[in-house]
Amino acid sequence: MLFNSIEYALFLPIVFAIYWIIGYLHIGNAFKLKLQNAFVLIASYVFYGWWDWRFLLLIAFTSLCSWGSGLLIKSSILNHKSSISKLWLTANIVINIGILAVFKYYDFFVTEFGRLFSISTDNMLLKVILPVGISFYTFQALSYSIDVYRKKVEPTHDIVAFFAFIAFFPQLVAGPIERATNLLPQFLKNRTFQYGQAVDGLRQILWGLFKKMVIADTCAIYVNRIWETYDMQSSGVLILGAVLFTFQIYGDFSGYSDIAIGTAKLFGINLMRNFNSPYFSRDIAEFWRRWHISLTTWFRDYVYIPLGGSRVNKAKIIRNIFVIFLVSGLWHGANWTFLAWGAFHAFLFLPLILSGRNRRYTDQPVTWRHLPQIVCTFVLVVFGWILFRAESITQAWRYMCGIAGQNTVTTHFILHSWEYIPLIVTIVFMLGVEWLNRAATHNFAIQQTISNQWLRRLLYLAVVLMILYLGQFHYNQFIYFQF
């Protein structure tokens, strides 16, 4: 079920109404909480099963393994059997990573093995459909058992609350990848409706729909057209295609996150921020602190730091940086282009961390005087997205070679440049709003930056009208659903 579909437009208000009707029933708080959580779980499974009900068995199995492992790990710790607790943790990691590997990477590695040794592997391929959101909920489940083992969170005996924590529908298929330390406790306590929180949630949903339907889906039309004929395009058009994909993937993914976080607020749940104006970053290190924050911090806490982080010798620092970026690339999909994308960012990141400049922009607010650094970082990110968008390394190389060509602008491009004007205007509008709210709690928290009520209402109306008149209503799937 897509956030930008008629089905979801009917699903959400029905779920919202029943959820809060349960919340205001005159019954015991403990029973009310269990009833609400059970309803959230049912609604989440309906939401997820809308694509393919068979994959409900998979997410239920993942949830059961992680829930059970948490209790077994805690029991072993209490009985001073650290080796046994580590065994339970390892078993859960192997099971979950094993499932992910089979569905997402098995066919890729078998195919590449066949190419390497020039043998046919057609009869060895599984050719299974990739379950939507498997990378997201698998990592969320893994973080729970790891945090229990590290004694950062207490395991819960409430299986319904835990299953709801893993399957919570707003963030189930494309994040944010939540931690048990933040999300699980919210399912273990009674929630009350808060008008201000709900209004802010609607505000964030509106902005997410704008970024998805107006920015991302419109960019997709031109990006797809350019990439389909990239070998016949001028360098100017290829540059335009790369820049438009940069805004497409941002509008698509951050738009999803905004809708997810805003929807959660309607149910009294606070999710972590997943994007923080990444295209206003002044270097690559800051970009990765602002882009897909839930995944970046996941790899930092569960891969990079356990490997020694930056508190080791330089050789190991280089190893650690390449490990997390290559694993991050592989997380996005079974394709050499994603590994190349990860390696590209690792090479950009290395000079910063080796020179100790990777955290120079952690506290310093972004201002206009940082525009040169922002532009340079943006250009590097654009080239990285070419690798990400390409279907193969060869295609990415040819696209980049086309950009380096001599024919910068063609007559055809000049005659049809007017087609891009509405899209460019909306992108500038988005950047302006997000620049204005760059220090706010989210990029459309205009109540924190615009004091005039009528001006805020005018801005809401402008966004609604742009969605209605410029938005794409083809219910295009979100890019990160494939990951």
Question: pLDDT at position 482, please?
Answer: 67
Q: The tokens of 89 are what?
A: 């943790």
Give me the amino acid identity at 104.
Answer: K
Q: Which of 152, 171, 193 is the last residue of a domain?
A: 193
Note whether 183 and 52 are same-domain residues: yes
pLDDT tens figures, 16-63? 999 999 999 888 889 999 999 999 999 999 999 988 888 899 999 999
Q: Which of 193, 215, 236 is the last residue of a domain?
A: 193
Residue at 455 is within a domain: yes
Nearest to 472 by CA among 146, 219, 95, 246: 219
Residue at 249 is within a domain: yes
User: Is pLDDT at 15 greater than 80 in this prediction?
Assistant: yes
Nearest to 202 by CA among 425, 13, 449, 409: 13
Range with lowest mean pLDDT among 1-5, 272-276, 318-322: 1-5
Q: What 8-state DSSP symbol labels residue 185?
A: G
**How far is it, in rounded angstroms, from Cα 121 to Cα 112?**
9
Predicted confidence band at 218 (pLDDT cuts at 50, 70, 90)?
Answer: very high
Note whether 23 and 95 are same-domain residues: yes
Note whether 97 and 109 are same-domain residues: yes
pLDDT tens figures, 420-457? 889 999 999 999 999 999 999 999 999 999 999 999 99
Range with lowest mean pLDDT among 110-119, 146-155, 367-376, 440-449: 110-119
Q: Contact 164/44 with Cβ under 8 angstroms?
A: yes
Note whether 163 and 214 are same-domain residues: no
Count other Cβ atoms within 10 Å, centred on residue 390.
22
Residue at 396 is within a domain: yes
User: What single string gives the DSSP state of each residue in 375-423?
Assistant: HHHHHHHHHHHHHHH-SSHHHHHHHHHHHTSS----HHHHHTGGGGHHH
Nearest to 155 by CA among 93, 164, 138, 146: 146
Note whether 157 and 225 are same-domain residues: no
**How far is it, in rounded angstroms, from Cα 189 to Cα 186?**
6
Number of domains in the chain: 2
Question: pLDDT at position 410, please?
Answer: 56
Q: Contact 302/324 with Cβ under 8 angstroms?
A: no
Residue at 291 is within a domain: no
**How far is it, in rounded angstroms, from Cα 331 to Cα 347?**
18
Q: Which residues are catalytic, by number?
A: 332
Residue at 51 is within a domain: yes
What angle do helix axes 82-104 and 134-149 make, rounded to 10 degrees? Answer: 170
Note whether 62 and 121 are same-domain residues: yes
Nearest to 75 by CA among 17, 137, 25, 149: 149
pLDDT tens figures, 245-267? 999 999 999 999 999 999 999 99
Q: Contact 48/56 with Cβ under 8 angstroms?
A: yes
Q: The tokens of 429 are what?
A: 């509008």
Mean pLDDT of 392-407: 88
Note whether 202 and 135 are same-domain residues: no
Residue at 340 is within a domain: no
Note whether 457 and 407 are same-domain residues: yes
Mean pLDDT of 308-329: 93
Q: Contact 218/190 with Cβ under 8 angstroms?
A: no
Predicted confidence band at 408 (pLDDT cuts at 50, 70, 90)?
Answer: low
Question: pLDDT at position 11, please?
Answer: 95
Predicted confidence band at 379 (pLDDT cuts at 50, 70, 90)?
Answer: very high
Q: Which domain holds residue 215?
A: 197-282+366-482
Note whether 170 and 211 are same-domain residues: no
pLDDT tens figures, 175-198? 799 999 999 999 999 999 999 999
> Who wins on pLDDT, 481 or 477?
477
Note whether 186 and 209 are same-domain residues: no
**How far is it, in rounded angstroms, from Cα 142 to Cα 89?**
9
Q: Contact 22/32 with Cβ under 8 angstroms?
A: yes
Note whether 67 and 21 are same-domain residues: yes
Distance of CA 189 to the CA centre of its chain: 27
What angle do helix axes 453-470 and 195-209 make, rounded to 10 degrees? Answer: 40
Q: The tokens of 411 are what?
A: 């007559």
**How far is it, in rounded angstroms, from Cα 439 to Cα 256?**
20
> Who wins on pLDDT, 118 or 285?
285
Residue at 357 is within a domain: no
Mean pLDDT of 334-347: 94
Question: pLDDT at position 429, please?
Answer: 96
Q: Which of 174, 193, 212 is the last residue of a domain?
A: 193
Residue at 133 is within a domain: yes
Predicted confidence band at 112 (pLDDT cuts at 50, 70, 90)?
Answer: confident
Note whether 239 and 277 are same-domain residues: yes
**How far is it, in rounded angstroms, from Cα 260 to Cα 270?**
10
